[in-house]
Amino acid sequence: MPLSPDEAGRFADLLSGHAEPMVARWTELVAANLRGRLSSAELGRQTADLQRAFQQAFAAGATDLGDEAAAELRAQLTELSNHRARQGFTATETAVSVYALKDAALEALGDAANLKDYVAFSGFVDRAALFTFDSYVRVRESLIADQAEQLLELSTPVVKLWEGVVAVPLVGTLDSARAQVVMERLLQTLVDTGSPYAIIDITGVPAVDTQVAQHILKTVVAARLMGADCIISGIRPQIAQTIVALGIEFGDIATKASLADALRHVLHKTGQRSPGAKRTER
């Protein structure tokens, strides 16, 4: 239920008239709730900013939180939830930072408060708190998604194994999302290092089904289009037998039992000395 323009005007006056005690009380209430996890100076700044944003929204004639006049207030609330979410505060702690304004206002106004006005004001603050809660949840969700993505990237390193040879050791389940990341990173590393050879090591993949095989085949084809040759290594006996029974064919793609075999194969092809062989010349 939106406020009347009259009410908005009265609230603007009330908030500016009682600014200091209201901010002080509001800060105190929030501080008690957050139990010292934010410095009182920082909290004081935040509540003062918020109080001013509420006051300016009302002064500009905002009767609903969605109004153009409340745009700055919404931005402040979003900023607050952003902060709280990133600093690890709970959704309740974040919402209370806004709700506390109601108590602070009631105390600061004392007997001067008229019930009808207070209920209207309280409704507006409730909507602001809900808005904060929603944007808090959105920030948390995106934080979690970011972390999942980072984990994904962490678990798919592409390493330069030797001059002209990069390797991706695949570990665990190769679902479509990860397969995509692996492919992109491998291709990017091929570009960055100008390597003509890539080794895809599947020692850490527990089962190679048609989906995994198809992802690997696509990666090999893409690497070839970029002028690089792929070798698949780490094919353990049980995986080899399963691949054969499934009917998957790796065609003319070189496959090796171990990463070391694969590297030796590449070095042999390029006429370089294999790692571990004695160097007799520069």
Partner 1 sequence: MNEESQRLPVVTDQDVVRVRQLVRTVAVAVKLSLVDQTKLVTAASELARNTLVYGGGGEVEVTRVHNERRGGIRIVFADQGPGIVDLQLALTDGYTTGGGLGLGLSGARRLVDEFEIDTEVGKGTTITVVKWCR
Ligand X SMILES: Nc1ncnc2c1ncn2[C@@H]1O[C@H](COP(=O)(O)OP(=O)(O)OP(=O)(O)O)[C@@H](O)[C@H]1O
Binding footprint of partner 1 on the chain (CB under 8 A): 173, 175-176, 206-211, 213-214, 237-239, 241-242, 245-248
Which residue, 106 or 257, is less far from partner 1 as judged by CB? 257
Select from partner 1, ligand X, none the partner in contact with residue 237, using the beta carbon and a kind-dependent cut-off of 5 to 8 Å: partner 1
Distances (CA, A) of 60 to 72, 141, 217, 264: 11, 33, 62, 74
Select from partner 1, ligand X, none the partner in contact with residue 150, using the beta carbon and a kind-dependent cut-off of 5 to 8 Å: none
Phi, psi dihedral angles at 201 (to 5 degrees): -100, 120
Alpha-carbon distance of 228 to 223, in angstroms, equals 5
Q: Which residue has the tokens 């390797």?
A: 167
Which residue, 142 or 210, is less far from ligand X as judged by CB? 210
Least distance in Å: CB of 243 to ligand X? Answer: 12
Select from ligand X, partner 1, none the partner in contact with residue 248, using the beta carbon and a kind-dependent cut-off of 5 to 8 Å: partner 1
Q: Which of residues 209-228 bind ligand X (CB under 6 A)?
A: 210-211
Which of 110, 99, 108 has the alpha carbon at shortest distance from 22?
A: 108
> CA-based Rg of the chain, rounded to a whole angstrom?
31
Select from partner 1, ligand X, none the partner in contact with residue 225, using the beta carbon and a kind-dependent cut-off of 5 to 8 Å: none
Phi, psi dihedral angles at 204 (to 5 degrees): -90, 5
**Burial of residue 19, with CB atoms counted within 10 A of its CB: 0-12 exposed, 13-18 middle, 19 or more buried:** middle
Which residue, 172 or 275, is less far from partner 1 as judged by CB? 172
Using rule CB under 6 A, residue 176 touches ligand X: no
Least distance in Å: CB of 97 to ligand X? Answer: 51
Least distance in Å: CB of 235 to ligand X? Answer: 19
Which of 168, 174, 173, 73 has the alpha carbon at shortest distance from 124?
A: 73
Select from partner 1, ligand X, none the partner in contact with residue 188, using the beta carbon and a kind-dependent cut-off of 5 to 8 Å: none
Residues in touch with ligand X (CB under 6 A): 210-211
